[in-house]
Amino acid sequence: MAFVAKNKPNDVPRQVKKPAAATETERVCPRCKSKLDVGKLWENRNVCSCGYHFKLKARDRVALTVDVDSFEPLWEDITSVDVLEFPGYENKLELSRYVAGEADAVVCGRAKISGRPCILFAMDPFFMMGSMGAAVGEKITRAFELATEEGLPVVGFTVSGGARMQEGLISLMQMAKTSAAVQRHSAAGLLYLTVLTNPTTGGVTASFAMLGDVIFAEPGATVGFAGARVIEQTVGKKLPQGFQTAEFLLAHGFADAIVPRDEQRWAIGNMLKLHAVSA
């Protein structure tokens, strides 16, 4: 059974209007409520002066992280297929391809950071909230397999609502598949560095996101396994302030460092250099 397909070119979505976001010139910071000029915000890597980190498209993440002209994308035509004929999924896929401008929710490729080669992946929050179906699982797995084969480190930016329920058990199996690929990469003595960004939850947290040798988190990012609302309903209590944030993760020992966006390039490059010297 084929669970992923090549993306058909000219895949024109039905009944899809151009999203308003594409033409906006001003955004409001959800934290400090300031009105921000989109151009100026981008110059500051989509970080408000109050420190709030706005979401980034996968390609923008890549652009902000890698050495100029060093990125060579891989497996760009892999996209998920609606194998279960799940209600509304086909249309959601088409809308996401249009809005995110990607074939699925992760971008992979070869890259250099501070001159060091690596395999890079960046998930896209605008493609079905970065959820993991067969295509995402396949690309992440291939990234680790290629890196293992070539003896390269993997650097990954996670942002995900978790497993993509529209693909049922096959999406759940991606958690096992990706973790198994991380295991082989790790057993080969190679470095895996993750940067957890807002939000990283569910099946992605419970698989490759939390398996990094080194785990960075973006300030204020929500990172957790269960959704806050589900927890609140289960325990019948208000959740503590700052629950499931990057800072919470650091305090409980599940992240190595909180690294703001403007320091990530340097911090990742530094880690790659530290692991490029064999004793």
Partner 1 sequence: MAKAKNKSTPAYDRVRAARGGKRPTGLDYVKGVFSDFFELHGDRAFSDDAAVAGGIAWLYDKPVTVIALEKGHSTKERSKRNFGSPHPEGYRKALRLMKQAEKFHRPVVCFVDTAGAYPGVGAEERGQGAAIAENLLALSGLRTPVLSIFIGEGGSGGALALSVADEVWMLENAVYSVISPEGCASILWKDASKAPEAAAFLRLQAQDALEMGVCDRILPEKGLGSRAFYRDLSRLIYDKLTELSALDAEALVGARYARFRQFGTGA
Residues that bind Zn ion (CB under 5 A): 29, 31-32, 48, 50, 52
Q: Please report how close the Cβ of residue 195 comes to partner 1 at its closest, in angstroms.
A: 16
Q: Are 47 and 54 in contact (CB under 8 A)?
A: yes
Give the Cα separation of 117 and 70 in Å (integer).
Answer: 9
211 forms part of the interface with partner 1 (CB under 8 A):
yes
Cis peptide before 199, with omega less than 30 degrees from 0?
yes
Give the Cα separation of 105 and 160 in Å (integer).
Answer: 9
Query: How many whole angstroms from its chain centre is CA 269?
Result: 19
Give the Cα separation of 117 and 154 in Å (integer).
Answer: 9
Q: Please report how close the Cβ of residue 50 comes to Zn ion at its closest, in angstroms.
A: 3
Residue 32 contacts which entry, partner 1, Zn ion, none (Cβ below 5-8 A, type-dependent): Zn ion
Mask: binding to partner 1, 43-82, rule CB under 8 A, as x and -? -----------------------------------x----
206 forms part of the interface with partner 1 (CB under 8 A):
yes
Give the Cα separation of 93 and 260 in Å (integer).
Answer: 32
Angle at 247 between CA 245 and CA 57, to 5 degrees: 55
Mask: binding to partner 1, 173-202, rule CB under 8 A, as x and -? xxxxx-xx-xxx-xx--------------x
Residue 42 contacts which entry, partner 1, Zn ion, none (Cβ below 5-8 A, type-dependent): none
Q: Please report how close the Cβ of residue 13 comes to partner 1 at its closest, in angstroms.
A: 20
Based on CB atoms, which residue is closest to partner 1, 29 or 84?
A: 84
Q: Please report how close the Cβ of residue 51 comes to Zn ion at its closest, in angstroms.
A: 7
* CB atoms near residue 113 (< 10 Å): 25
Q: Please report how close the Cβ of residue 256 comes to partner 1 at its closest, in angstroms.
A: 12
Mask: binding to partner 1, 134-173, rule CB under 8 A, as x and -? xx-xx--x---------------------x-x-xxxxxxx
Based on CB atoms, which residue is closest to partner 1, 111 or 217?
A: 217
Angle at 27 between CA 268 and CA 95, to 5 degrees: 80
**Sole binder of partner 1 in the list 62, 203, 217, 221 (CB under 8 A):** 203
Number of residues binding to partner 1, judged by CB under 8 A? 64
84 forms part of the interface with partner 1 (CB under 8 A):
yes
User: Which residues in this chain contact partner 1 in the complex, by CB under 8 A?
Assistant: 1-6, 78, 84, 86-88, 133-135, 137-138, 141, 163, 165, 167-177, 179-180, 182-184, 186-187, 202-203, 205-211, 223-227, 230-231, 234-235, 237, 239-240, 243-244, 248, 252-254
